[in-house]
Structure 1
Amino acid sequence: MLLIYNAAIRLYFVVVWIFSFFNKKAKLWISGRSKQSFVRQKDAIWFHFSSLGEFEQGRPVLEAIRQKYPENKIVITFFSPSGYEVRKNTILADAVYYLPLDTARNAKEFLDLIQPKLVIFTKYEYWYNFFKEMYRRDIPLYIISGIFRPGQIFFKWYGGLHRKMLGFVTWFFVQDDKSKQLLKKIGKEQVTVSGDTRFDRVWQNALAPKELPQIAAFKNGQKVFIAGSTWPEDEYLLAELVAGYPGWKFIIAPHEIDNDQLDRLMELLPTESSARYSIISSLNGNFSNLRVLVIDNIGMLSSLYRYGEIAYIGGGFGAGIHNTLEAAAFGLPVIFGPNYTRFKEANDLVALKVGFSITNGEQLTAIMETLVNDDAFYSAANKKILTYVKEHTGATNTILNHIEKK
């Protein structure tokens, strides 16, 4: 099985290399790895994140470790360009790299260079050669905010290699008891149910939100519907909603912000009352006729929700929804598409009747009508969602306390 795994890793590289000739992300994935050079460290603390979402998820632990162990260098790696390109200059790290391809040689060379005393992976990404080499060197490896489901390869009859990979992990900090029980069934006892560090991150953000004066001027005391991380399937429905609610303002933050995607979105919206965020500074504060603002940058979304009353989270008509908790931390009821069941917090929000899944425009309008016209329902939802987020904080302290004892 290891031969097949190593062959698949190399095949993956070849496929991405082919795609790099006509795909921007693939090109960054290849060029970023080929150009980087590593700086030798000693007793570094290494954090790995798949992408930007996992960075934000693990950020509370990263910040706490940085403060707790100021004498140790912090090294961050990303698998995806969407994480690396946004956070490559973060002040929270002494070095930021793309994760080298998971080969035995790369694992040995990378660990020789950064010489970590501690390694933390967030949520998922399991790399056999890196994990085995850390285990061989007796380097503590922690998985934080982990979540496991019965359909994953670890729990299949043919998942022996991947189960072995889990055996290289020093300790798992998982989001729920279901994950702990699944791990115990395959003999992995080194597990703590700590919860999800994203709750700590979003609650921290909500307690000290970043002020955005231009967004405040756009809101101008009116009610705002905020749609985050949207895809085309979401945006067709949102365009209809804009037309149906002339008394509301809308902020749409697309997941993809290349010009072609932004141009397509702007064509869906009423041109006389829509604008990109990047041009509003030229309007000299005159936002009186603007009803729709399209965010054409990365990094604002988590701060935008403080200005909204209702949130829509994109991705539910594709591979899965994006981060609902950033909006929930501000007490916003959240709406999303049908593909949400893999996300624990989304299931929780639906069960609490503060999260709403829709499959078409009619359902979106019906939910909007309830939230807009039933003040008692909206007020109760607002309180329930804030209570839910606050009660689920604390994962960071659990993780830090465990690490300190080791």
Structure 2
Amino acid sequence: MQPLRLGSRGAAVAEVRSILTGIGMLRGEAAVDASVPVGSARWNRSEPIFDEHLDLVVRTFQQQRGLLVDGVVGPATYQALRDASYRLGTRTLSYQVAAPMTGDDAATLQLRLQDLGFYRDLVDGYFGRATHEALVSYQGEYGLSADGICGPATLRSLQFLGTRVTGGSPHALTERELVRRSGPRLAGKRIVLDPGLGGTEPGLTVPNPHADNESLTQADIAWDITTRLEGRMAATGMETILTRGRRNSPTVAERAHIANAFGADLMISIQASSSSSPNPNGVATFHFGNSHGSTSMIGSILSGFIQREIVARTALRDCRSHARTWDILRLTRMPVAQVDVGYLSNATDLTLLTNPHTRDIVAEAILVAVKRLYLLDKDDQPTGSYTFSRLLAEEQA
């Protein structure tokens, strides 16, 4: 579907209104049946308009769901709306390899299984292998047919059972224990580095003030910082893999698949941003977290460390660390931190990011943040004071 925004009209706008009504964010529309495709006879009604009130509600929905708040119903927001329209029991849930099922019903199922002690991964509304295995385990223990299909019998059994464990996220405890067991040394850690954009998606192009007749793009900035970070990580004995080459741009799903296949301990995605306005500026970091209360604890800690280290070492504005549900954070099976290092569309950030010295500092800040993560409670160095040379000396001692 084409992106919908203020002023749009048509059947797709009617569907957006109906979904938002069904989840209690709008009044006066008939609730949508999530199984009805856009464009069917169900939507052949007088064309509604995407007005200012709908724009505000869409922005509120995007904020609640950890999406980019722009008021535009693009692919990510539309998928989130469809996911929100599903309630547990409105359809049969099962593991489908080719086209995995997603939705709030899957998230509710994950929460129920987590409370009963069967599910230990992120509550992300993604019915993947981990959810399937947890459901099979639950069904087998409860005396149901262990087929991994959440149908009427399984739903009734879930309604009759209370929780076995409360007071904490099993996934968060598992993440922290894995970090603790791996020890403070960086040598041997497996890290996926994800430079944003690339290939046919270079992003904004700007002049390079440090080289005559040359230009830089968002993809170039992300690539340069990534390779500087990769070199430092290699010096410490870490194993790294990049999600893309110098000239290609895999999809987000492909990047996540690379990370999952590598069996990484962490993933760090590095982006350079741009905006149609010259005003946005500063560095921000992101980790997985959603409206169901599920958060990657290690992703959150790492994002916070990276944010503080970069802000302490550069003149980039502090835009803080945030929880988001973006696919690069949701589809990966390890903690992920995404770093948006600044805006090439802003004059101040442009001056900083086109300077190779700043990019070098950012790469060092990210590595130090990773080291702080693995030090856990033994980290006693003030923010911004831990140098690469000292870190390297400690690693080689």
Task: Return the TM-score normalized by structure 1.
Answer: 0.34
Say which structure is richer in helix: 1
Q: TM-score, normalised by structure 2?
A: 0.34
- Which structure is higher in RCO with an 8 Å CA cutoff and minimum separation 6? 2
- Which one has the bigger strand percentage? 1
